Amino acid sequence: MDDLRIAQQRLKNQRLSLVFVKNSKVVFETNTEGLSGFLRAIEQLNNELSRASVADRTIGKAAALLCAYSNVTAAFATTLSKKGAEILRTFNISFEFENLVPAILNSEKTSNCPLEELVENITKPIVAYARIREYCGH
């Protein structure tokens, strides 16, 4: 079974929010909400995420830029935003999803997610990572 399938199955079967798999081995998983789990994976594993596959409950532009920053090869999202898909395409990250949505909303569903607004005009993964990290207090 390929890395993306393993990650996708663990995400669903274990009710996780984020799973990284590399060479058929789970290298990181969490059920933390938001991007803090993704930031923790980057901080703990750094280059080890390169060439891994990731399964995430929600991938918007911010998470997609973190995928590019981490140099993952494939991504699965339960919910993927159109801007997230654009970023994944731009950085040649293959992806699959269950639901494609126009945008990722805040928890009250009243406007865009603050992290999506934070990266609205950012196209460079390293800049996005620094801004997201600062915003989340990492």
Q: For residue range 12-43, what is the model confidence (pLDDT) as tens digits?
A: 999 999 999 999 999 999 999 889 999 999 99
User: Residue 52: pLDDT band by 50, 70, 90 thresholds?
Assistant: very high
Residue 137 pLDDT greater than 90, yes or no: no
Q: Catalogue the E-assigned strands of 1-138.
A: 18-22, 25-30, 53-59, 74-81, 94-101
Residue 113's φ and ψ, nearest 5 degrees, are -60, 135
How deeply is 83 buried, as exposed, middle or buried, from its count of CB atoms within 10 A (0-12, 13-18, 19+)? buried
- For the cut 80, the answer to whether the pLDDT of residue 82 exceeds it is yes
Q: Is the pLDDT of residue 138 over 80?
A: no
pLDDT of residue 107: 87
Dihedral of the alpha carbons of 88, 92, 98, 102, in degrees to the nearest 10: 30
Neighbours of 104 (CB within 10 A): 21
3-class SS of residue 105: strand
DSSP-based helix, strand, coil % in the chain, nearest 5: 45, 25, 30
Instruction: Give pLDDT, residue 34.
Output: 87
At residue 119, does pLDDT exceed 90?
yes
User: Hey, what's the torsion of the CAs at 92, 50, 14, 134, to 10 degrees?
Assistant: -90
> Beta 18-22 vs 25-30: how paired, if at all?
antiparallel
pTM for this model (two decimals) = 0.96
Q: Is 50 left (phi over 0), alpha (psi -120 to 50) or beta?
A: beta
pLDDT of residue 90: 98
Q: How confident is the model at residue 46 (pLDDT cuts 50, 70, 90)?
A: confident
Average pLDDT of span 40-59: 95
User: Which CATH number applies to 3-136?
Assistant: 3.40.140.30
pLDDT-derived band at 69 (thresholds 50, 70, 90) equals very high
Residue 118's pLDDT band (boundaries 50, 70, 90)? Answer: very high
